[in-house]
Amino acid sequence: MVDYLDEIVGQDTAKRFIRTAIKKENLYNFLFVGPKGVGKRLLAFALAKTLQCPPTSPNFMLVAPIPSKLKNKDDKVYEYTKQYLPEYAVVEIEDRASILIEQIRYVIQRLIHMPSSESKRIVLILEVDKMTDEAANCFLKTLEEPPIDTIFILTTSRPHFVLPTIRSRCQIVPFHYLNNEQITSIIFDGQDEFQLGSPGEILMLRENNTIDYVYDIFKYSPLDTRTAAVKAKEFERKKTVAILYPLLLLYRLVFYKKLGIGIHTVLDEEITRKTKSISLGDIINTLAMLQYNINILEQNPNRLLLLFNTLSKLP
């Protein structure tokens, strides 16, 4: 058996756990738990390759969140899911994307048949916390009694949003943030300016220029009511998390600066100015507000009101 796990930078604890499971033939329901962008998805693909069931194998199944607009359209679901394959370094999830019961029923239907050849069958479910309640309940019985030679690999960056009954049926494999040396070996140039510890998050920020996207809002806040309303209307039809998340990162730099943590970025001058003008309590409240608003996006709030409420309260 060829070991492909070392293709992944870092995550020695996770790799040790998996190698022990392989050695002891304890290959049963893995739940990869850890921050976004640190290698959970890629390590899952590496494990599948190690078990001779790569993404190109007929025995491999990939399930991932899809936008609600693609519901019940199998061909489009397949096309959308392809963006999660290992050749894509950056994966963007829309504000409202879920794993639907139709996707789980399709997996269960395929599992009725024995896997072709004598290899293992892998079912990789990414961002399992995004399963709808209906999908999760439909999935439970199959997860509890997987068909022969079938291994489920689930990933999540939000384990507390995963049903306890799903978590309890899995071996938890922990993933951690990467250090600067490991990140540099992946992204090759630049620095971890926002102390993310996540090469995936860094690459996404670069690819989408998301900081530039909201920098003026950060710079000129607090906004008067009229300006906040105009900006909210301007951004209403855009990806809301792509507005809130970079704002969270910018105000987090102010928080670090306030605590005396030395982080140097091209935004130092503005970060320093904000640090002097905002109290520590206001920074903490702002970070809590932004994180809360990011979390409730999945509840399909009125985006215009959400944005206006956020932008009008930024210090």
The answer for residues whose C-beta is within 8 angstroms of residue 221's C-beta and 6 or more apart is: 311, 314, 315
Residue 38 contacts residue 176 (beta carbons within 8 Å): yes
**Which whole number is the average pLDDT over 169-185?**
91
Q: Given its phi and psi angles, is residue 300 left (phi above 0), alpha (psi -120 to 50 degrees) or beta?
A: left
DSSP string, 12-65: HHHHHHHHHHHHTT----EEEE--TTSSHHHHHHHHHHHTT--TTSTTEEEE--
> How do residues 245-278 score in pLDDT, each as one tens digit?
889 989 988 998 888 887 777 778 888 899 999 9
Q: Report percent pLDDT > 70 for the chain.
A: 94
Letter for the amino acid at 39? G
> How do residues 199-252 score in pLDDT, each as one tens digit?
888 787 777 777 887 888 999 999 999 999 999 998 887 788 888 888 998 998
**Which whole number is the average pLDDT over 2-13?**
92
Cβ density class 241-269: b for 16+ within 10 Å, e for less: bbbbbbbbbbbbbbbbbbeeeebeeebee
Q: Report percent pLDDT > 90 for the chain.
A: 52
Rounded-to-integer distance, Cα 31 and Cα 129, Å: 11
Q: Is the peptide bond before 222 cis (omega within 30 degrees of 0)?
A: yes
**Which whole number is the average pLDDT over 107-124?**
83
